[in-house]
Amino acid sequence: IEEVKDSNVSNEKMEILKHIKKDDYIISLVINSNQITSTELSSKLNNLFIDGKSSIVFIIGGSDGLDSEIINMSDERISFSKMTFPHGLFRAMLLEQVYRSFKIMNNETYHK
């Protein structure tokens, strides 16, 4: 987990770009994007692994959202909700969904 200081969108963009590598698969969490289910996220991640994508980066925008350059360079954009959440809470929600995705992939009982 890399956390950059919440600042204006332009400065935040520069800080985010410092952590992106050429072959990272970038998924940006963008409020005005498609919402997917836990099962769909699991399937998406599983397919990325099958395709050999070993470095998947999730980007959570700051309080003013993400710079358009970050959004445009993203391989995918998804939304968890149309609501706004504090970063700490949203990070926990994202981590829980990634955990849930692995449980679904392994046919374990965590996912209901």
pLDDT, tens digit, for every residue of 12-42?
A: 889 899 999 999 999 999 988 999 999 999 9
Q: What is the pTM of this model?
A: 0.89
Specify the DSSP element, H or E, that contains 67.
Answer: none
pLDDT at 108 over 70: yes
Edge-to-edge strands, sheet with 56-60: 56-60, 25-35, 76-79
Instruction: Please state, in angstroms and rounded to a whole number, the distance separating the CA atoms of residues 70 and 109.
Output: 36
Tokens found for residue 87: 């970063």
Number of neighbours of residue 40 by Cβ within 10 angstroms? 14
Q: What is the pLDDT of residues 44-53, one digit of tens each?
A: 999 999 999 9
In the block, tokens 């995918």 appear at 76
Q: What is the mean pLDDT of the chain?
A: 90
Q: Bridge-partner residues for 59, per DSSP?
A: 28
Number of neighbours of residue 12 by Cβ within 10 angstroms? 21
Backbone angles phi, psi at 17, to 5 degrees: -60, -30
